[in-house]
Amino acid sequence: MPFYKKILTIKIVLLSALIVILASCSVNKTGISSVNVSHVYNPGSSNLFPDYSIFHKNDSISMLMVKIHTDNLLYIRNKNKEYEAKVNIKYRVYEDLERGIIVDTGQVSYSVLRNQAQKEIISYLKIYCPKKKLYHLELQCKDMVKRRPRHVFLLLDKRTETNQNYVLSNPKNNEPLFRNNFNRNEEFWIEPANSANELKISYINKEFPLALPPFSLVNEPIEIMKPDSVIRVPREKGFRFSQNCEILMFQTDSSKQSGQLTTIFNEYYPFVKKASELIEPLRYLTTKSEYKKMIEAKNKKLKLDEFWLSASKDFNKARELIRIFYSRVVFANVFFSSHKEGWKTDRGMTYIIFGPPTTVYKSNKGERWIYGENQRVRPLTFFFEIKESPYTTNYYKLQRSASYKPYWMNAVKRWRSGTVYVSTI
């Protein structure tokens, strides 16, 4: 049975659980657009890395699904001398970040015994957001022993049909999947929120391109992929599919471009392991001809080692450069994945080359990243604008400028000279 038929049933097998839902419409006079939220992109800010997803059940009700990995929790002895962890998950839904208008809040808390803990615990929180507009959801997941919360900001788009109008689930256990990327030929259920009698499926054997440099003035339109073929599947046949091409696009309304996209990433995503996958992000540091030679080489591992040893001139230093560079690639995938790998996005590119930003301000229109704390010099600032995309609700486009070129070239030069780029502005 597909997951959607059980979506209102909360199944959390725990020693104890306490669920508190607080629904409200209030105004936080200060808002949060003036609050530095750079910790959301700091991997060390919390021991938790939750998975999360949103599903719009109807015009006014959505479901927030949050998965906690229990091996990330800290367990301490309770009064019964059992090792216990405690978790708190809370959310706020903002109609307006800058004016601080909150339309809904809620939370769930529970305890877990280590000797009885499942590897993963999924919580379902019902969200009220009645208007056809773009909301901002602030999610906080906290290990109550360590007391270091993980904050996440999500876009909750009710304006039109998006990927949030579909549920992807595992056909083996009917549990929701918190990703839209699959291994080749991996199977999944898909269920739309509406009662459509059929699904339109577009097969696209292409890949999305990586981000252009921040100084590029090439007009980069929203990526619209033309399908290689299209089929329609009636509901009575069941909406169970296999990821048998690079991109699948599912739609219930043929008159619209948006829908649910699924794609193929590597089997251990968000990590990168194969030499070819390790070479791909180096496109940000190499010339076109250098990259072509590396990616077409028969011995890609040798070319990869040569690049980093040439940059560092020292084996141990090369290992440190590799560790930092590819940890940024991994966390770019964790933080910025959408219709394409996180490292290929505008925010992912900036994160890899310049590192985690010193300051992040969120607004109704996007995110402002600031590098540098020197008050005497103008800091380096990037603005990522929220854009509508037919493929994702997590599309942020960098406002590019030719003025970024010297900063970019300096950062690339330092990487290629064996120095990790750190803003000294």
Residue type, 251: Q
The whole-angstrom separation of Cα 32 and Cα 126 is: 23
User: For the chain, what percent of residues have pLDDT higher than 70?
Assistant: 90
Q: How many CB atoms lie within 10 A of CB 369?
A: 24
Provide the pLDDT confidence category of residue 116 given band limits of 50, 70 and 90: confident
pLDDT for residue 350: 98
pLDDT for residue 254: 78
The whole-angstrom separation of Cα 204 and Cα 184 is: 14
pLDDT, mean of residues 417-422: 85
The whole-angstrom separation of Cα 262 and Cα 188 is: 10
Cβ within 8 Å of residue 206, ≥6 positions away? 225, 246, 247
pLDDT for residue 8: 31
**Residue in the block written with tokens 């949103």:** 54
pLDDT, mean of residues 141-147: 94
Is residue 18 predicted with pLDDT exceeding 60? no
pLDDT for residue 361: 97
Is residue 72 predicted with pLDDT exceeding 50? yes
Q: Bridge-partner residues for 76, per DSSP?
A: 84
Tokens, residue 5: 């038929």
Question: For residue range 96-106, what is the model confidence (pLDDT) as tens digits?
Answer: 999 999 999 99
pLDDT, mean of residues 6-31: 43
For residue 263, which of 222, 328, 203 has the smallest C-alpha distance? 203
Question: For residue range 288-316, what is the model confidence (pLDDT) as tens digits?
Answer: 999 999 999 999 999 999 999 999 888 89
- Our measurement of the distance from residue 94's CA atom to the centroid of its chain's CA atoms, rounded to an integer in Å, reads 19
pLDDT, mean of residues 162-184: 93
Is residue 117 predicted with pLDDT exceeding 90? no
Continuous segment of H or E residues that includes residue 11: none
With left for phi above 0 and alpha for psi between -120 and 50, is residue 94 left, alpha or beta?
beta
The whole-angstrom separation of Cα 18 and Cα 303 is: 55
- Which residue ranges form the domains of the chain, and what is each CATH number? 3-159 (2.60.40.10), 167-264 (no CATH), 275-416 (no CATH)
Q: Bridge-partner residues for 264, per DSSP?
A: 182
pTM: 0.91
- Give the CA count within 13 Å in the CB-facing half-sphere of 370: 16
